[in-house]
Amino acid sequence: MAVRPAEIAVVALARARPGVWPVTARFLRKKPLGAAGGVLMLVMALTAVFADVLQTHDPIATNAAYTLGAPNAEHWLGTDHLGRDIYSRIVHGARVSLIVGLASTLLGSVLGGLIGLLSGYIGGKTDLIAQRVLDILQGLPLLVLALVMSAALGPAIHNVVIAISIPIIPRAARVIRSSVLSIREMQYVEAARSLGVRHLRIAFRHILPNTVGPFIVLCTAQLGSAILVEATLSFLGLGVPEPYPSWGRMLSVSAAEYAQKAPHLVLFPGIAISLAVFGSNLLGDALRDVLDPRLRGA
């Protein structure tokens, strides 16, 4: 039976495509800092998923006999002013930070990506009006706009997600729009138009999949900012409310009154926030270099 050239090309392409492990090994070799950031984020994700297993005490249970206790064999990272175990609270704080960070990043990036896709593809007055509205939103810093939204909505987990996601929308829209402006002029898009393909199908079937690379980089880069903003809002009393253990809430309670008497109350939550943001930024920079054709040789 004769084999068609198209089948030969598909088989050759499948054989030439590298596997997961060679790609991972190449990423580790080319981007060691990005790999380190990925390890930090993986550790944070595993900590959040298995927080109930990793905890040594109830994170919200108080014990007046162990208030402001220093790190010891029973309480590995010490206790706070209510006798709550800091290690267990940090472990569960990873879950809160990751849920809020991922949810707000995905919500803001998806909404902003859809706005950028439609704005860049349609163009004209639609693009002009959309960009002016985005200019207004982007004129305010991420933290300031999140503070305003959180103060208006009130302290709750879903309100914090909404408050953080809104400042991400204009940034995501700008990134996706810039990609759409270049993709919509390519020959395969012109060919689809000449064949009479509907505009929505062209936008979502032919253009949107080619913005996945910038979208992944955007989400990874914004995740660290979202975690930091959540910690800031919780520190100011506008974020995740009690009794949920939040890294920012742990700092707000202890930073002013107990920092000198019990420095471990500030030190360990601060390290957790720093590592999460640091890992996200390192991974985002590495993915940008890998997925951007102009930077692959860097």
172: domain CATH number is 1.10.3720.10
User: For position 184, what pLDDT does the model report?
Assistant: 85
Confidence class for position 254, pLDDT limits 50, 70, 90:
low
Taking the C-alpha atoms of residue 57 and residue 211, their distance in angstroms, rounded to an integer, is 45
Judged on CB neighbours under 10 Å (0-12, 13-18, 19+), 182 is: exposed
Residue 219 clears pLDDT 50, i.e. is over it: yes
Residue 19 belongs to a domain? no
Residue 91 belongs to a domain? yes
Residue 34 belongs to a domain? no
Mean pLDDT value across residues 77-85: 86
What length is written for the chain?
298
Domain of 122 in residue numbering reads as 82-295
Residue 176 clears pLDDT 80, i.e. is over it: yes
User: For position 112, what pLDDT does the model report?
Assistant: 92
Q: Structural domain tally of the chain?
A: 1
Q: What residues contact 4, with CB distance under 8 A and at least 6 apart?
A: none
What are 138-168's pLDDT values in tens digits?
877 777 888 888 888 877 788 888 888 988 9
Q: What is the mean pLDDT of the chain?
A: 82
Do 258 and 265 form a contact (C-beta atoms < 8 A)?
yes
Among residues 248, 296, 212, 294, the alpha carbon closest in space to that of 101 is found at: 248
User: For position 7, what pLDDT does the model report?
Assistant: 46
Do 287 and 219 form a contact (C-beta atoms < 8 A)?
no
Residue 20 belongs to a domain? no
Q: Which CA distances in Å does 144 have to 29, 98, 156?
A: 39, 21, 18
pTM exceeding 0.75? yes
Mean pLDDT value across residues 225-238: 84
User: For position 115, what pLDDT does the model report?
Assistant: 92
User: For position 11, what pLDDT does the model report?
Assistant: 43
Query: What is the percentage of the chain residues whose pLDDT exceeds 90?
Result: 12
User: For position 1, what pLDDT does the model report?
Assistant: 45
Residue 75 clears pLDDT 80, i.e. is over it: yes
Among residues 180, 241, 185, the alpha carbon closest in space to that of 215 is found at: 180
Taking the C-alpha atoms of residue 275 and residue 283, their distance in angstroms, rounded to an integer, is 12
Residue 178 belongs to a domain? yes
Mean pLDDT value across residues 254-261: 72
Residue 3 clears pLDDT 70, i.e. is over it: no
Q: What residues contact 121, with CB distance under 8 A and at least 6 apart?
A: 180, 184, 199, 202, 203, 207
Taking the C-alpha atoms of residue 211 and residue 113, their distance in angstroms, rounded to an integer, is 9
Mean pLDDT value across residues 17-43: 78
What is the distance in angstroms between the CA of the first residue and the CA of the last residue of the chain? 47
Residue 11 belongs to a domain? no
Instruction: Considering only residues 178 and 27, tell me which one the structure prediction assigns the higher pLDDT.
Output: 178
Residue 31 belongs to a domain? no
Residue 259 belongs to a domain? yes
Residue 111 clears pLDDT 90, i.e. is over it: yes
User: For position 114, what pLDDT does the model report?
Assistant: 92
